[in-house]
Amino acid sequence: MLIERLYTPANDEVVYHYCSSETLKAILESGRIRFTDINMLNDAHETRWGYDVFEEAADRLLKRSGISEATPRIDLSFIDSMDKIISPIQLIAHPFVACFSAEHDSLEQWRAYGDDGRGYAIGFKVSALQNLPITLLKVEYQREKQVEEMIRAIVATYVHHRDDDPTTKQAEFQLDCSLIATFMIAFKNPVFEHENEIRCVHAVNVDMQGDRMRFVDRGGTERGTKDIPGETIGFQVRDNHFVPHLELPIDASVVAEIIWGPKNQSASGNMALFLGGLGISNVKFRRSNVPYR
C-alpha cells in the first residue's frame, strides 16, 4: 500500500534536522529526539491534505475520470468500507513525527527552522535512526503523483479483498486500510517541496475509557526484532496550544555531521569539546555555503 513512500536509504545516508543552538544542545545532552503530534506541525492542513488526496482518488475511480478501461470498476460501498477505517484512524493509532531533510544547506530551512541562519543542521545516520520503533517515509509534494499513487493503492486493496468473506478477512482488510492511512501522511502541499522531507513516524495509541481520553505509547520493535518499551507523553504549551510530544532515545553514534548556519560564527573548537564531553566522536564539521546574513 503506497509502497513508494517507504524510505529505503543507502547504508551511509545522512538526513538533516535544522534547529537552534539551544535545541541542538538539548538533543545531544538528553540523547533523545522529540516526536510531535502531527496535528501541531507547521502545515495547518497537515493531516487533511492526505485525506483530500484519498477523496480525490476515490472520486476519480467512481466517476471513471481518466481511469484506464483495464482498471476494475469499484463501487461506492467498497470505498465507504475503506473510509470507515481511514477517516477515524487517528483515534486508534495517532501519528507522532520527527522531521528531517535530505537537504544539508537549504536557505528556506535555515530561515524557518535554523534560528534564521544562526543555528545548526544536525546530520543523523539513517541506519541508526532505523533502530528506533519508527517508520521512515519520503514525502511526495506533487499533487497529481499523490493522487495516482492513491488510486493504485485503492485498486490494489480492492483486488486483494473484493472476494473476501467479511467474517474471516476483516482484520486483514483493516490492516491494509490502516497502512494507507499511515503512508498518506507523507503527502504534503507543493509549497513545502523545498524541504525534501524524510518523515520519521511513531504511532501512539489513543486510550478511551468512558469520557476519559489519553495517549498511551505502547512502544514498538527495533527492526522488527527487539522489543522497545513505550515512552511518557508530555505536553508543551506553545502559543497557548497544548502540544503533545514524546522523546525517543538515540545512541551517540547516530550523529554523523554538524553544519553551522550561514549566520552562525561560533568556533568549532568548543563544539568539539562539548561533543567529547558527551562521548560523541567521529562527527564531521562544516559551515553553510549559503550567502545569507
Name the pTM for this structure: 0.91
**How do residues 169-196 score in pLDDT, each as one tens digit?**
888 999 999 999 989 999 999 999 999 9
Cell numbers placing 47: 493531516
Q: Nearest Cα to 202, choosing from 34, 66, 80?
A: 34
Distance of CA 291 to the CA centre of its chain: 30
Measured in degrees and rounded to the nearest 5, phi and psi for residue 232 equal -75, 135
DSSP string, 74-110: --HHHHHHHHHHHTTGGGTEEEEEEEEES-SS-HHHH
User: pLDDT for 198-233, tens place per residue?
Assistant: 999 999 999 988 889 999 999 888 776 788 999 999
- Residue 92 reports pLDDT greater than 90: no
pLDDT at 184: 92
Mean pLDDT, rounded, for 74-85: 95
User: What does the DSSP 8-state code read for residue 140?
Assistant: B
pLDDT for the residue 168? 67
Closest CA to 151 of 211, 221, 82, 92: 82
| Most confident of the following: 156-170, 172-186, 227-241, 274-288 | 274-288
What confidence score (pLDDT) does residue 252 get?
A: 85
On the question of pLDDT at 17 being above 80, the answer is: yes
Give the model's confidence band at 166: pLDDT under 50 very low, under 70 low, under 90 confident, else very high: low
Closest C-alpha to 90, from 199, 232, 220, 215: 215
DSSP 150-219: HHHHHHHHHHHHTT--HHHHHHHHHHHHHHHHHHGGGB--GGGGGG-EEEEEEEEEEEEETTEEEEE---
190 is written with which cell numbers? Answer: 507543493
Residue 1's pLDDT band, with cuts at 50, 70 and 90, is low
What per-residue confidence (pLDDT) applies to 271? 97
C-alpha 219 chain-centroid distance: 16
Question: Looking at per-residue confidence, does 26 or 238 come out higher?
Answer: 26
Q: What is the mean pLDDT of residues 108-128?
A: 96
Q: What is the pLDDT of residues 96-115, one digit of tens each?
A: 999 999 999 999 999 999 99
| pLDDT of res. 47 | 75
Separation of alpha carbons 203 and 211, rounded Å: 22
> In this structure, what C-alpha cell is assigned to residue 222?
527495533
Q: How far is CA 263 from CA 17, 27, 268, in A?
A: 17, 21, 14
What's the CA gap between 275 and 156, in Å, rounded?
Answer: 49
